[in-house]
Structure 1
């Protein structure tokens, strides 16, 4: 063989090998990700030709597929009141897209997941119409509806967690939207709904619980600062005297930090017990406490609760932020939840849940079980520990102070007859002329926590104690059957 022919043969062989490698990569190695890609139109046509499985909450289907006389064969339908739209998401032919649980659990709902191989084989043998599996969520319909009712149309979010397991009992984002308006196969109607929802300044498509905008936590952040103070001083207890002046200027600045309403903390002597500073929510005590603990230790404590880390429930929870403060003045403001601290309600629920669970933080999760089309169990989610956030002693001290806050402090409107509730209020200032965010974090019963709940009311005319605490009380009552 002469040299030109040999070179051409080698070139053809290399091209053939490259082509085979590319085809193998696409068809084998990349097949799963390509099939899961929400932009894959073939996938969507295949999915809409399948009787997609239901999404179930408390034994009832909140998302189903209905037969229709169209090329797609099935129409995805949801509860029209939007109670779960931020969780379920939508499955849209018009936009060739999936969101929420529809996307996160697409393999099960569409019937393609490997765990449903037995079901697919049975369908092949019997010739039965292919069906998707079911996804059962951890959400409790009673708690979810109580949260929506208690919010009374106000803008904000509620997250409720079972502290001992991490099960998410409620995940409410308001205002909500009707997922059917986007899932409809009427393209013109879907486009009109999409445009309207995206132009709405209240952002109903944003899940305020765990994604999108984040918020200054206000005085609910004092839970984290108090933990850091206790963890970094082995001699400190709730009865330890700490600095708590009526006003205080951080080192190197003339800026004055005041307590809420510019009132004195405790007896006005400039010192108060940690317990008193907590139930009175004294800003100066936590500004000084955070500076004394130091930026590195404060950030380390925040990271133990999950700051700085994205995770999935399987819905994405974006990382809450505690950036490195430039100086002690910034750290002082950070330490009572202002300045640069930004959180999701899910993050604050994690802090509350960890305190309730003796310092052990369980990873929050939404999927309880996956099921076959015949509702036979395929898998059950096992609770998973996120990490140890504090000592049991520190957790006990925090539980004690949070109970006192509801009994005799700023959180007294969350009190329930016959139930010991633990809580912490928060009011986060935004800017001059802008209404603050009202927060409340709580768990109950204090001696055997069944629920940890965080309420956020955006730009509320009240505060954490007057506006958010009563919402939490109603949610806890619904969970405990009070």
Structure 2
């Protein structure tokens, strides 16, 4: 009898050992596979079981959470959703996250280890701290000025603080309300389908993700390259440039949009946006030096994040002389994001140093204790300080006596550059109107804001003036708002 009991005990022990091995297999070796199984709803239920942390502008939340009473309990809400959508992106229970909602998801969702002094405790307890907050560098008044100025037209506007790289405004137009995508069910799917089918592409962040031919605003890069390379020593000296200018190696004549560009100096070419002069200067600088100059300004560089990712701006590295001439005036294959062109303006305003743009001032726990802080840093020197000073003088002349007079602000020093970018087959598309610039309060030691504005559907009688008519007034309103109230630190 005792022998049978022992056999039974041994058999039970084997069963227990097998059970423990299977538990270990499920809990350890196959845990990831089970967790990733689409049928497993526990991660989603846990993710939305608590309110999400907020994104702040000027210290006030522009996001929130609503108790839906459903299985996925808390849905994202947005205050002034279309105004801040290019900053926040969306947080959807159906379609995931985008932009800042994605880049700072760990903080907002409460899964970042920095939110707790004892992260291991939450791991063992299968819990998590409350979602933290992301305080942005955006200033409400500057953001609203850009949004109001674009007035639903296709385009984008970016404002930076030149000394630090803080993004003061980030607007893409037309916009959308991310609250439409927050929950689940038919209305969310219908909104997603409608927004993606819209030919105006309202969910495209044109400020960060779209690249445009920068047109004549790129002449600032070409002028910087010429000055730093010593190709132009005197910005006021005649350049011996014909009007029109024969593109090298071709029978094609490059015209100007206006008159007075025959034999103009580089300063006059920037002031009145002479294609012929700046194309010739770009050819004289040469391909290698132009590529190097464009790279110093941020072109052809991968991996820029603010912290959302930014599309790469392009300046071709292998071109014939005629292609180089066109590229030097922002045409051919030259393409840039509005953020990139704001960086160009900021580099001029900042004495030649290219700032690294950033959107998050700091992240905090839900009680306000700091987790991480954004640190201003430069991306390198785009040009010498002497070159930056000369370009500042030339850009001021553009606004005071040239093509950019609509950007002038009484009581402030404003420098700028207008531009028109042709596009489409045979340049048949409506030109893109550009303005880049910077502004300094009269009693301030340094410029306080740099901007870039592009308007896609800008009608104009002649090339570069469309930048003055369509984009410069928006830039002026943005710069006025930035100078009106210094940012709180």
Give TM-score scaled by structure 2 length: 0.86
Q: What residue in structure 1 maps to residue 251 of structure 2? A: 254
Correspondence 1:262-341 to 2 at 5 A: 263-265=259-261, 270-310=262-302, 311-341=304-334
Does residue 356 of structure 1 match 2:354? no
Q: 2:434 aligns with which of 434, 439, 443?
A: 439
Q: 1:228 aligns with which of 225, 236, 245?
A: 225
Give the secondary-structure state (helix, strand or coil) at the position aligned to 1:229: helix
Contact 1:156 1:208 survives alignment (8 Å): yes
Measured in 2, the distance between the counterparts of 1:416 and 1:125 equals 59
Does residue 196 of structure 1 match 2:194? yes
CA offsets 1:425-454 (integer angstroms, 9 cap, x no match) = 001111343210000001011751110010
Measured in 2, the distance between the counterparts of 1:395 and 1:141 equals 30
Q: For residues 428 and 124 of structure 1, do their structure 2 counterparts lie closer, same or farther at Cα, with a shift above 3 Å needed? A: closer
Measured in 2, the distance between the counterparts of 1:26 and 1:87 equals 36
Q: What residue in structure 1 maps to residue 402 of structure 2? A: 409
Q: What residue in structure 1 maps to residue 154 of structure 2? A: 155
Displacement after TM superposition at 1:94 (Å): 2.0
Contact 2:266 2:278 survives alignment (8 Å): no
Q: What residue in structure 2 maps to residue 453 of structure 1? A: 451
Aligned length: 451
CA offsets 1:239-284 (integer angstroms, 9 cap, x no match) = 23323322111221010001113x231xxxx422221111011000
Contact 2:403 2:418 survives alignment (8 Å): yes
Displacement after TM superposition at 1:107 (Å): 0.8
Does residue 136 of structure 1 match 2:144? no
- Larger mean CA deviation between 390-399 and 371-380 belongs to 371-380
Measured in 2, the distance between the counterparts of 1:23 and 1:471 equals 58
Measured in 1, the distance between the counterparts of 2:411 and 2:122 equals 54
Runs (5+) with no aligned partner, structure 2: 1-20, 461-465
Displacement after TM superposition at 1:125 (Å): 13
Measured in 1, the distance between the counterparts of 2:137 and 2:405 equals 30
Does residue 387 of structure 1 match 2:370? no
Measured in 2, the distance between the counterparts of 1:38 and 1:183 equals 20
Does residue 476 of structure 1 match 2:479? yes
Give the secondary-structure state (helix, strand or coil) at the position aligned to 2:354: strand
Give the secondary-structure state (helix, strand or coil) at the position aligned to 1:163: coil
Correspondence 1:201-212 to 2 at 5 A: 201-211=199-209
Q: What residue in structure 1 maps to residue 112 of structure 2? A: 113
For the pair shown, which has the larger CA radius of gyration, 1 or 2? 2
Measured in 2, the distance between the counterparts of 1:72 and 1:154 equals 36
Measured in 2, the distance between the counterparts of 1:243 and 1:324 equals 27
Runs (5+) with no aligned partner, structure 1: 1-15
Q: What residue in structure 1 maps to residue 17 of structure 2? A: none
Displacement after TM superposition at 1:121 (Å): 8.1
Q: What residue in structure 2 maps to residue 11 of structure 1? A: none
- Larger mean CA deviation between 126-135 and 248-257 belongs to 126-135
Measured in 2, the distance between the counterparts of 1:374 and 1:119 equals 16
Q: For residues 126 and 191 of structure 1, do their structure 2 counterparts lie closer, same or farther at Cα, with a shift above 3 Å needed? A: closer
Displacement after TM superposition at 1:124 (Å): 10
Give the secondary-structure state (helix, strand or coil) at the position aligned to 1:82: helix
Measured in 2, the distance between the counterparts of 1:318 and 1:42 equals 35
Q: For residues 308 and 473 of structure 1, do their structure 2 counterparts lie closer, same or farther at Cα, with a shift above 3 Å needed? A: same
Give the secondary-structure state (helix, strand or coil) at the position aligned to 1:378: strand
